[in-house]
Amino acid sequence: MSIGYATAYRAGIIPWEKASRQDRPTLSHLLDREEALRPNRVRRAIDLGCGRGANTKLLLDRGWDAMGVDNVRQAVDIAVRRNGLADARFVIGDVRHLVHSGVGSQFDLYLDVGCFQSLDDVGRTLMAGGVTELAEPDATILIRTGGPRAWPVRPKQAVRHDIERAYRGWTVTAVSGVGSAADASAPERGSDSRSGEWFRLTRT
């Protein structure tokens, strides 16, 4: 996984960043809900597969005690420089081994924009296990699937069944995307399958 993404970053083939920017209104809407559910406490979040840190920065700007984790050092270095953030806000680590990566624990929110789908089935299960072990009892997970693929990074598509299979003990709800009526107030999103879909996970 890291070799493919490192190659893509070096080559400047990063279409997922454009897709993430285009989908920012939906993410902001979903974060509004998470913040409303936790109005009077320090909110801790982790950006899984943070890349160059755009969403980590967004969380920090919104008042979250946030950090990002990614196993591509080049991307993390850019995240620190470009966003003017402290090194301590990022961990160079493998999302499949979160418990021993040094990210800490007691997170309220796990943000996953395209990370889950970049893993194989074993990797997805390992990451889900780590998230489950580190999560607070009332934690939520926001997962975005779909989006463009780029050589040499060719992740498997991920659908709801894949998430449910990996995240045992969590309830998976579609909160945006084609055919989803879970959140009628969410911003309109394109009908193209490349726009992907958002899921919200809560403890069963």
Q: CA 35 → CA 28, 72, 77, 176, distances in Å? A: 10, 29, 29, 18
pLDDT of residue 204: 86
Cα(49)–Cα(75) distance, integer angstroms: 10
pLDDT of residue 126: 97
Return the closest-CA partner of residue 141 out of 195, 202, 71: 202
What pTM value is reported for the model? Answer: 0.84
pLDDT of residue 193: 42
pLDDT of residue 113: 92
CATH number (3.40.50.300, 3.40.190.10, 3.40.50.150, 3.30.750.24) of 2-203 reads: 3.40.50.150
Residue 129 CA from chain centroid, whole number: 15
pLDDT of residue 84: 81
Cα(84)–Cα(82) distance, integer angstroms: 6
Is the peptide bond between 155 and the residue preceding it cis, with omega within 30 degrees of 0? no
| Maximum Cα–Cα distance across the chain | 44
Element (H, E) at 192: none
Cα(118)–Cα(131) distance, integer angstroms: 16
Tens digit of pLDDT at every position of the chain (204 positions) = 555 666 666 656 566 666 677 788 999 999 999 999 998 888 999 999 998 889 999 999 999 999 999 988 888 888 888 878 888 899 999 999 999 888 988 899 999 998 998 899 999 999 999 999 999 999 999 999 875 554 445 556 788 999 999 999 999 999 975 444 455 555 554 444 455 799 999 998
For residue 3, give every residue at least 6 positions away whose Cβ sits within 8 Å of its Cβ, in sequence order, or none: none
pLDDT of residue 72: 86
Element (H, E) at 61: helix 54-61
